[in-house]
Amino acid sequence: MRVPYLDLRSQYEALKPEIDGAIRAVIEDSAFIRGNFVADFELKFAAMHGFKEFVGTGNGTDALFVALKALGAGPGDEVITAANSWIASSECITLTGATPVFADIDPDTYTIDPTSVADRITSRTRALIPVHLYGQAADMEAINQLAAQRDLRVIEDCAQAHLAKFAGRLVGTWGDAGAFSFYPGKNLGAYGDAGGIGTNNAELATKIRVFADHGSDPGCKHRHLTEGINSRLDGIQAAVLSVKLKQLQKWTEGRVERACWYDELLQGVGDIVIPRVRPGSTHVYHIYCIRTRFRGRLIEDLRTKGIGTAVHYPTALPFLDAYSRFAYRPGDYPVSHRYQSEILSLPIYPEMSEGDVGYVASAIREFF
């Protein structure tokens, strides 16, 4: 038996006629950049979240960067994000000219620890980028409280957490802006790079649209209000996303169901720590992350049994070569540092059968 870490092929098989038709329609219409298919997806994604506006971008990294830039971050500013995340969460900060500052993660939920954020706020801090890591909402009440006290902007990194909720409210709707990725492997994935920004601030949305499209005046071609960048959602990706968006709720429930199966089957196995969900939050399980001290040997053992795994992430951001200029030591981020050698992501996607989950769980049981 084989259980790959990710299986995008079977999702495509299930939707093939509709997706192929949607792609063909874009080509026949030559609606490659912006245009109806993009506008249609933007409206639907906004409506699903109750955003006043959703602006498509070329990818999720640009979504973070453009939002941060539009909120005014630049040289001399500091922006705080989570020590355990994908590099996009901090890269976007450096790209604006601001300095990334890392906060450690909560030992139970692995999301950004508001206490650690509070410790790192200075007079230069301009914004916070909480990451809804693995699909679990960060503690947005605490984050927004800090932001209100210190007059900071908040951009939520929602790349892994489509439709996740904190205290009953969708992620992306808590901050000034929510940045989404539709990278193919994400819970809502395009067939190439894609991303976007949701906001309830119409003025901010306009700034975002202008900056992401060469600083162009939306109402007047060849009039450039400022310099910007080229980061637009393309029509083919938008059309694919519109087809898939209809499945997102069902897929999300499918992920949660598979996580429950894992939870039951892995309870009390070896020294494994299964994911913990913060009371009042929902977790959409972009990643089902366990912890074990025997990670290296377990990965090898599962590989021989045909099971794919991954690590998100093997080096916490402060310890990447990219940030050697800050010379951080393990003690600066004790939780992130300890967990980087223990975390392990198991296969999870809505197309997995109960048998697949059972097979992975018994392989882990056998190992221990």
Ligand X SMILES: *Cc1c(COP(=O)(O)O)cnc(C)c1O
Integer Cα distance of 239 and 41 in angstroms: 7
Residue ranges of alpha helices (H) inside the chain are: 8-29, 35-49, 60-70, 88-96, 114-120, 140-150, 202-212, 235-245, 248-266, 295-304, 334-339, 354-367
CB distance 183 to 244 below 8 Å: no
Q: According to CB under 6 A, which residues from 118 to 147 bind ligand X?
A: 131
60 lies in the binding site for ligand X (CB under 6 A) = yes
Token readout for 16 is 């093939």
CB atoms within 10 A of CB 75: 8
CB-nearer residue toward ligand X: 59 or 173:
59
231 lies in the binding site for ligand X (CB under 6 A) = no
Binding ligand X by CB under 6 A: which of 31, 54, 56, 61?
Answer: 61
Nearest distance from C-beta of residue 20 to ligand X, angstroms: 24
Residue 158 Cα distances to 69, 131, 178, 212, 295, angstroms: 17, 7, 6, 19, 27
Integer Cα distance of 174 and 166 in angstroms: 9
157 lies in the binding site for ligand X (CB under 6 A) = yes
Nearest distance from C-beta of residue 149 to ligand X, angstroms: 26
Give the per-residue contact string, 347-366, with ligand X (x = CB under 6 A; - = no): --------------------
Give the per-residue contact string, 294-333, with ligand X (x = CB under 6 A; - = no): ----------------------------------------
Residue of this chain nearest to ligand X (CB atom): 60
CB-nearer residue toward ligand X: 132 or 356:
132
Question: How buried is 270 (Cβ within 10 angstroms: 0-12 exposed, 13-18 middle, 19+ buried)?
Answer: middle
Nearest distance from C-beta of residue 188 to ligand X, angstroms: 11
Token readout for 123 is 């007079």
Q: According to CB under 6 A, which residues from 62 to 121 bind ligand X?
A: 85-86, 88-89
Residues lying near ligand X in the complex (CB under 6 A) are found at 59-61, 85-86, 88-89, 131, 157, 159-160, 181, 183, 193, 195
